[in-house]
Amino acid sequence: MVSIDEMDGIQKAAILLITLGPEKASSIFKHLKDEEIEQLTLEIANTRNVSPAQKEMVLNEFYEVCLAQQYIAEGGIGYAKDLLQKALGEDKASAVLGKLTASLQVRPFEFIRKTEASQILNFIQDEHPQTIALILSYLSAGQAAAIISTLPPEKQTDVAKRIALMDRTSPDVIKEVEGILEQKLASLVNQDYTIVGGIDSIVEVLNTVDRGTEKHIMENLEIEEPELADEIRKKMFVFEDILMLDDRSVQRVLREVENGELAIALKGSNEEVQSLIFNNMSTRLAAMIKEDMEYMGPVRLKDVEEAQQKIVNVIRRLEDSAEIVISRSGGDEIVV
């Protein structure tokens, strides 16, 4: 029997998924990249005669990893080490943390992720926009949105642009910025080169801030960086986000959309979106569109995406003209 120390990560992951069963394994696959799914599928197919002892060893190691991640999230490496020593013993705790050094990615600025946004703002509002962008890239979207909304208008756009254009940040720069905050709050664990920021990061932030802040930032970006603004806007509201609209708003949008375009767009949507759309039109029209979808056969992904983007453009236009309201966690003010 192959011992757990002789197995690589893919082999352990395959045994874990086999042990968890097909239903739980399929749920995990949804969160993996295509190449990871291919590797695991191949390994599972080639795995034969997994003994109960191997399953138990893999499950125990997985439990220890989860335990370590939880403790690190709660209080950092030092806190995790203390608790793991109490739970597993000193030798086992050191072994677990040693194995996970490469795989456990402790995020920089972890010590301020549980700090109130207003307190963080007091420490960073006078810093250079690039420094602020770096820190916000490591915070949750809610924290970052609260902070960027409170910055002076002229600084909001600059910070948003820097987050969107950020790629890799060297550990030396991170350590230098951490040092500034470290004197006031806490220390932090070193980390290797880390990908932060980017289009998806600023999109998540802008989808969380209030509508006024979002419009101000986007209007200025369209002047300063029109291509970047266009790329951000395309990702800010995807077709599936139509679920954020109330029934009245959905009905208003449908009045602006051609039935043929809608049928193509719905070919690539999930059941929840289809149900929302069909429930907001007449039974006769819904039946007609469903029939069109059935008889049009396979549709190119590019055509589906283009049809969905047209509908998204309609939604954004109607929102800009205040004819509909998109529900956002950051909140929209309604003027009576």
What pLDDT digit, counting tens, does each position of 311-334 carry? 888 887 888 788 887 765 444 433
What pLDDT digit, counting tens, does each position of 205-220 carry? 776 666 667 778 888 8
Flag whether pLDDT at 186 surpasses 50. Answer: no
What is the average pLDDT score of the chain? 75
Amino acid 192: pLDDT: 39
Amino acid 288: pLDDT: 92
Flag whether pLDDT at 183 surpasses 70. Answer: no
* 150 closest CA partner among 115, 113, 125: 125
Least confident of 46-55, 290-299, 303-312: 46-55
Structure tokens at 335: 């003027």
Mean pLDDT of 262-271: 88
How far apart are the C-alpha atoms of 296 and 331, rounded to whole Å?
40
Question: Given pLDDT bands bounded at 50, 70 and 90, which one contains residue 112?
Answer: low
* 229 closest CA partner among 242, 219, 239, 241: 219
Mean pLDDT of 119-145: 79
Question: Given pLDDT bands bounded at 50, 70 and 90, which one contains residue 251?
Answer: very high
Helices 129-138 and 171-182, axial angle in degrees (round to 10): 90
* 125 closest CA partner among 162, 156, 151: 151
Q: What HEC string does 178-226 produce?
A: HHHHHCCCCCCCCCCCEECCCHHHHHHHHCCCCHHHHHHHHHHHHHHCH
> Read out DSSP for 72-134?
HHHHHHHHHHHHHHHHH-HHHHHHHHHHHTTT--PPTTGGGTTS-HHHHHHHHTTS-HHHHHH
Amino acid 331: pLDDT: 42
Flag whether pLDDT at 83 surpasses 80. Answer: no
Of 66 and 135, more confident: 135
Query: Measured between alpha carbons, how far apart are the two ends of the chain, in Å?
Result: 73
Question: Given pLDDT bands bounded at 50, 70 and 90, which one contains residue 274?
Answer: very high
Of 248 and 181, more confident: 248
How far apart are the C-alpha atoms of 163 and 161, rounded to whole Å?
5
**Residue listed under structure tokens 């056969």:** 297
Are 129 and 155 within 8 A, CB to CB?
Answer: yes
pTM over the 0.85 mark: no
Amino acid 281: pLDDT: 92
* 267 closest CA partner among 235, 291, 251, 283: 291
What pLDDT digit, counting tens, does each position of 166-178 carry? 766 666 666 666 6
